[in-house]
Amino acid sequence: MDGVDAAVVEINEKSINVISIYNEPYDDELKHELLFIRDNKKSINLDDFARLDHKVGKFFGAVALSTIKESGIKSSQIQAIGSHGQTIRHQPRGKYPFSLQIGDPNLIADATKITTVSDFRRRDIANGGEGAPLTPIFHKFLFQNKTSDCVVLNIGGISNITILNHNSNKIKGFDTGPGNTLMDLWIKKHLNQNYDKDGEWAKKGKCDLNLIEAMLSDPYFSSQPPKSTGFEYFDHAWIEKYLNKKEYQAVDIMRTLLMLTVESIALHIERYASSADEIIICGGGAKNKILIEILKDRMKDKNISLSDHHGIDADYLEAVAFAFLAKKTLSREPGNIKSVTGANDDVILGGIYLA
């Protein structure tokens, strides 16, 4: 919930060209409203919720226009906009599963006069899937080769992996657990910072081995894929449950949370992708130097690189992915992979809002 990442891309049958990238942070007021609605699910006012959907949609439309202007491409040359939306809640299990993103796509289409594709996750859920992760079909397009197995690791708020086998079209992918979300919550609470730049605070702490062992016993880590999770599960209450009112140094908890991210990623890769020679990392967590250093040391047998080395900025790979998914939708092609999400079928995703 830091802001909007956007990209202008040219998509061909076998390649993708990123023409420009753009980021616009949320202003303090909008970010506060988003965090409030995320963290206070029992006291959400319906009118406030609807207004926020409008505010975010209007913000997205303005960002789209700024992105196009910065790129030097004429609006008339843009065939479509793919908008993921701002996730407010992701609950893919239970009697009435759902995934909720806000940011009214009508406002994007109206502001830009460009066809907009949005609401990608709910069709997969309607078909029996988790609605996540959706990027593996794009990872396959970018990174699958004919000579070696590969894992694409996205470290956002939540971490997810895509497992690409060189001799098979059957793709696996799922959320491994927390990425940055628990660390961001912890540093916000104790240092009033939005994130731990370069992992410098975590670097000063010491991992509590008993605590991390207890955290890793959480049933999510041992559950079988397909699976997905979110900040609804890995939240402040989740941390406090394992602290169990014991006294710890805040900096040591920070280091333990960083190690939890590393270890949960490593354990899932060892369990489900032991044959992979390479790990390609994307997402905001790729900038956490300490996290990446420890992950490389933890997985010495793998060749680990950032997606930057493969032509796409690690921060913007997901923005590019949803342009790719919008193209899939408009071409009437499935955007999910049923072996990843657990859906009954590969289905066409999203709603189309014509210009």
131-154 average pLDDT score: 94
Helix runs in 10-87, H state only: 28-39, 46-71
**Where does 136-310 sit in CATH, by number?**
3.30.420.40
Q: Which range has the worst mean pLDDT, 100-109, 166-175, 188-197, 208-217?
A: 166-175
Q: Tell me: cis bond preceding 334? Omega within 30 of 0 counts.
A: no
Q: What is the pLDDT of residue 119?
A: 98
**pLDDT tens digit sequence for 320-342:** 999 999 999 999 999 999 999 99
Q: What is the pLDDT of residue 145?
A: 85
Q: What is the pLDDT of residue 214?
A: 98
Q: What is the pLDDT of residue 111?
A: 98
Helix (H, G, I), strand (E, B) or coil at 160: strand
Distance in Å from the first CA to the final CA of the chain: 28
Q: Are 105 and 58 in contact (CB under 8 A)?
A: no
227-241 average pLDDT score: 96
Tell me the two tokens of residue 26.
């949320």
Q: What is the pLDDT of residue 208?
A: 98
Neighbours of 31 (CB within 10 A): 15
**Where does 3-131+317-353 sit in CATH, by number?**
3.30.420.40
Q: What is the pLDDT of residue 314?
A: 95
- Boundaries of every domain in the chain: 3-131+317-353, 136-310
Q: What is the pLDDT of residue 39?
A: 87
pLDDT confidence of 135, banded at 50, 70, 90?
Answer: very high
Element spanning 252, H or E:
helix 250-272
Report DSSP state, residue 117.
E
Q: Which of 336, 324, 319 has the alpha carbon at shortest distance from 16?
A: 324
Q: Are 71 and 19 in contact (CB under 8 A)?
A: yes
**pLDDT tens digit sequence for 39-77:** 888 888 999 999 999 999 999 999 999 999 999 999 999
Tell me the two tokens of residue 154.
């996205």
Q: Which of 20, 92, 38 has the alpha carbon at shortest distance from 319?
A: 20
pLDDT confidence of 166, banded at 50, 70, 90?
Answer: confident
228-237 average pLDDT score: 95
CA–CA gap between residue 196 and residue 116 (Å, rounded): 35
Q: Are 179 and 261 in contact (CB under 8 A)?
A: yes
Residues paired with 21 in a beta bridge: 7
**pLDDT tens digit sequence for 286-326:** 999 999 999 999 999 999 999 999 999 999 999 999 999 99
**Res 170 pLDDT > 90:** no
Q: What is the pLDDT of residue 130?
A: 97
**Res 35 pLDDT > 80:** yes
Q: Are 341 and 131 in contact (CB under 8 A)?
A: yes
Q: What is the pLDDT of residue 169?
A: 80
**pLDDT tens digit sequence for 254-286:** 999 999 999 999 999 999 999 999 999 999 999
